[in-house]
Amino acid sequence: MTPEGSLLAAVDLRKTYGPTTALDGAEFSIHPGEVVAVMGPSGSGKSTLLHCLAGIVTPDSGSITYDGQEMATMNDARRSALRRSEFGFVFQFGQLVPELSCVENVALPLRLNGTGRKSAERTALQWMERLEVDDLKGKRPGEVSGGQGQRVAVARSLVTSPRVLFADEPTGALDSLNGERVMDLLTDAARSANAAVVLVTHEARVAAYSDREIVVRDGKSRDMERVV
């Protein structure tokens, strides 16, 4: 029942961690350039859904198709390569490498893809300008504020021009104003790059930046668009 034209879709995902059931028949789909919020209370399985969609975690059962390809048929190396080149990631705590400077952090995904240091950092700087953090390039993550760090993380997630951006509570550690700023920049940048965004959040004001939302509750997801 994969909706026509979807870039990334999941059907009937199930995943348990030991005795806890994280996903219990979750469904998902996203179109190119679409921003979809994944909402739900803590522990509902939002993050697990994101990890499955991104190919970080293999679901126990169910199918995930990306760009017409079944994820389950890809080996780890192929999925890693996919994450390097087609996906981007932003987490609640930037997860910037503390010992690398900001520009080096942003350039990291490009370098993992084999781009040379110079050109990687040049591209990185362009993205940092877009997220208005280019003045931080020589600083280390420990020396910048939370909001700035998160913007650097967004720059890092977009530097490879991914087709899907996964954002897990990207504003979770920020105040309203900083959170808003990050969301503005993130969605603008993603839309202008025509990247789809899977936005995991429990905050309505963050979810309001999405085109539509999906609610996860007890490991089951509801696509609200189709309910109404």
Partner 1 sequence: MSLRQWSRDLGMGFRFAFTGGRESWGRVLLTAVGVGLGVALLLLTTAIPNALQVRSDREYARADSTYSGQAIPPRADNTLLVADVDTEFRGQGVRGRQLEPEGSKAPLPPGVGKFPAPGEMVVSPALQELLNSQDGKLLRERLPYRVTGTIGETGLIGSAELAFYAGGDGLGPKVNGSAVTRIDTFQPRKAPSERMDPVLLLLVLVVFVVLLMPVGVFIAAAVRFGGERRDRRLAALRLVGSDSRMTRRIAAGEALAGALLGLIFGIGFFLIGRQIAGSIELFDVSVFPSYLNPTPTLALLVAIAVPAAAVGVTLLALRGVVIEPLGVVRTARPARRRLWWRLLLPLGGLALLYPMIGQGRTNGDFNQFMVVGGVILLLVGITALLPWIVEAVVGRLGSGGVAWQLAVRRLQLSSGTAARMVNGIAVAVAGAIALQMVFSGVSNDYTEDTGQDVSRAQMTVRLPSKVPLAEADRQLKQTKGVRHTLALSDGAVADRRKEPVNAANLTVGDCAALRQVAKLPSCRDGDVFTVQNAEYDTATPKLGKPGRKLYIDPSYSTSRGKEVVWTMPQGIKQAAQGKDPTGWAREGILATPGALPAKAAPAISGGVYVGLDESVPDAREYVRNTAARLDPLADSTAMAATSEARRFESIRTGLFVGAACVLLLIGASLLVSQLEQLRERKRLLSALVAFGTRRRTLSLSVLWQTAIPITLGLVLASAVGLTLGAVLLRMASTPVRVDWSSVLAMTGIGAGVVLVVTLFSLPPLLRLMRPEGLRTE
Partner 2 sequence: MSIGHTLLGLLESGPRHGYDLKRAFDEKFGHDRPLHYGQVYSTMSRLLKNGLVEVDGVEAGDGPERKRYAITEAGVTDVQRWLATPEKPEPYLQSTLYTKVVLALLTHRNAVEILDAQRSEHLRMMRILTDRKRKGDLADQLICDHALFHLEADLRWLELTAARLDKLAEAVIR
Question: What does the binding site for partner 2 look like in residue numbers (CB under 8 A)?
Answer: 37, 39, 41, 184, 202-205, 207-211, 213, 215, 217, 222, 224, 227-228
Mask for 117-136, x = binds partner 1 (CB under 8 A):
x-------------------
Q: Measured from the CB of residue 150, what is the shortest distance to partner 2 in angstroms?
A: 19
DSSP the chain: -PPTT-SEEEEEEEEEETTEEEEEEEEEEE-TT-EEEEE--TTSSHHHHHHHHTTSS--SEEEEEETTEEGGGS-HHHHHHHHHHTEEEE-SS----TTS-HHHHHHHHHHHTT--HHHHHHHHHHHHHHTT-GGGTTS-GGGS-HHHHHHHHHHHHHTT--SEEEEESTTTTS-HHHHHHHHHHHHHHHHHTT-EEEEE-S-HHHHTTSSEEEEEETTEEEEHHHH-
Beta carbons of 214 and 223 less than 8 angstroms apart: yes
* C-beta of residue 202 within 8 angstroms of C-beta of residue 30: no
Q: How far is the CB of 45 from partner 2 (least distance, A)?
A: 15
Q: Which of partner 1, partner 2, none interacts with 28 (beta carbon under 5 to 8 A by kind)?
A: none
Output the smallest distance, CB 226 to partner 1, in A.
Answer: 29
Residues in contact with partner 1, counted by CB under 8 A, come to a total of: 37
Of 61, 67, 97, 225, the one binding partner 1 (CB under 8 A) is 97
Residue 210: which of partner 1, partner 2, none does it interact with, CB under 5 to 8 A by kind?
Answer: partner 2
For residue 209, the partner it binds in partner 2, partner 1, none, with Cβ less than 5 to 8 A by kind, is partner 2
Nearer to partner 1, 22 or 214 (CB): 22
Restricting to residues 43-82, name those near partner 1 by CB under 8 A.
Answer: 43, 47-48, 51, 54, 56-57, 77, 80-82
What residues pair up with 215 in beta bridges, in sequence order? 39, 222
Among 40, 109, 179, 219, binds partner 1 (CB under 8 A): 109
Q: How far is the CB of 208 from partner 2 (least distance, A)?
A: 4
Distance CA 34, CA 3 (A): 14
Chain residues that interact with partner 1, rule: CB under 8 A: 17, 43, 47-48, 51, 54, 56-57, 77, 80-85, 87-89, 91-93, 95, 97-101, 104, 108-109, 111-112, 117, 140, 142, 157, 168
